Amino acid sequence: MRKILKRIGTALLFLIVAICLAPTLVPPFLDRIYYEGPRSDHFDGKRFFNPGPAPEAGSHSGPARFANRWLGADGRAAWPEHVPVRPTVPPPRVTGGDMFVTWIGHATVLVQTQGLNILTDPIWSDRASPFSFVGPRRVRAPGVRFEQLPKIDLVLISHNHYDHMDLPTLERLWRRDRPAIITSLGNDTILRNRGVEAAALDWGGRRRVGPAEVIVERNHHWGSRWGTDRNRALWSAFTVKLPGGNIFYAGDTGWGDGSWVAEAARTGPFRLAIIPIGAYEPRDFMKTNHVNPEEGVRIFEALKPARALGVHWGTFQLTFEPIGDPPARLAALKRQRGIASAAFVATEAGRSFAVPAIGTDAAKPALAR
């Protein structure tokens, strides 16, 4: 019975994916409206869209073909059931100009600096899915146990996909810490329906949180949680302006035409960039959704941060590449392009590193327990 339910759940999950990618197939009663406002260069009055040239023909089509390939394991790498993780216990606060960074897993990063504890796209759930019994399962435990997570002051939510907007985690954080939550337009409606308050801003919007100023930045993606709510809410990257150099979090993004990267570079200088490097195969299907390590390096070279962390890999199997392919390709690219080993890292979950302030001759950041 359990296997039958799992197969049914998997079929339902892929049906949702297909519906999200082909919303004309969906009955209107599944629609959701998260935002209403004036038209803009990325909102047509009903749905958000990526400015610039349309995707190449076929690059965002074929959800049924992708689902068939996935279910048939056609070219999909086998991932381990479990990857050992040694969780760390971060300090309660990092004051002054020091900066301490911990990859917790997937796109969840804890950044501690200036007395602020900042989290990106927090997910502690076992599955990135609307269902508790089926969907992408976590193979790497969080690098920090939730109970040992310090009080969080600021949460950045890039968009509403389940692996980035994890409502059970956000509800726990809200009940415990009441952090400032900043996201892009429409996502606050989803959160408010679960009793979680958030500030939702358009691209270019700014909000002050203590010593930080958060800027919602353009990137290249899409949003949906169920059916025809595709692109009813906006997706984004973020710049966090701070003394000693800014933080850039790219969110979940494809390269698109690259113009968003040039826009983001203008909000530097960057002390730290958090850049996705995983969930990119098969490339014919994923290239409009997710950057690969090569494009991640292009983002790094455009932003010129003092340090960068590669994320969005090795936690939930969302796509076809082997679990260790993203950091291996990143390491090869760094050798080819003469990038210092410590300048752009892909750490193990639960490992932390210090980032020196821009303009200082501080000791090189050492990966540490």
User: For residue range 169-186, what is the model confidence (pLDDT) as tens digits?
Assistant: 999 999 999 999 999 999
In angstroms, what CA-CA distances link 230 with 167, 186, 205, 322, 359?
18, 12, 22, 29, 43
Write phi, then psi, for 367 (nearest 5 degrees): -65, 130
**The pair of three-digit structure tokens given for residue 213, joined into one six-digit string:** 């100023």
What is the pLDDT confidence band of residue 300, given thresholds at 50, 70 and 90?
A: very high
Range in 136-140, 190-194, 223-227, 338-342 the model is least confident about: 223-227
Sign of CA dihedral 110, 173, 291, 81: positive
What is the pLDDT confidence band of residue 238, given thresholds at 50, 70 and 90?
A: very high
What is the pLDDT confidence band of residue 285, given thresholds at 50, 70 and 90?
A: confident
What is the pLDDT confidence band of residue 132, given thresholds at 50, 70 and 90?
A: confident
Residue 308 has pLDDT above 50, yes or no: yes
Nearest to 119 by CA among 176, 67, 157, 92: 157
What is the pLDDT confidence band of residue 73, given thresholds at 50, 70 and 90?
A: low
Can you give the pLDDT at residue 226? 85
- The C-alpha atoms of residue 301 and residue 297 are separated, in whole angstroms, by 6
Can you give the pLDDT at residue 61? 46
Residue showing tokens 């710049």: 239
Can you give the pLDDT at residue 57? 43
pTM for this one?
0.90
User: What is the DSSP code string of 76-95?
Assistant: PPPPPS-B--------S---
Can you give the pLDDT at residue 367? 37
- The C-alpha atoms of residue 183 and residue 235 are separated, in whole angstroms, by 8
Can you give the pLDDT at residue 359? 80
Residue 306 has pLDDT above 60, yes or no: yes
What is the pLDDT confidence band of residue 260, given thresholds at 50, 70 and 90?
A: very high
What's the mean pLDDT in 280-291?
A: 94
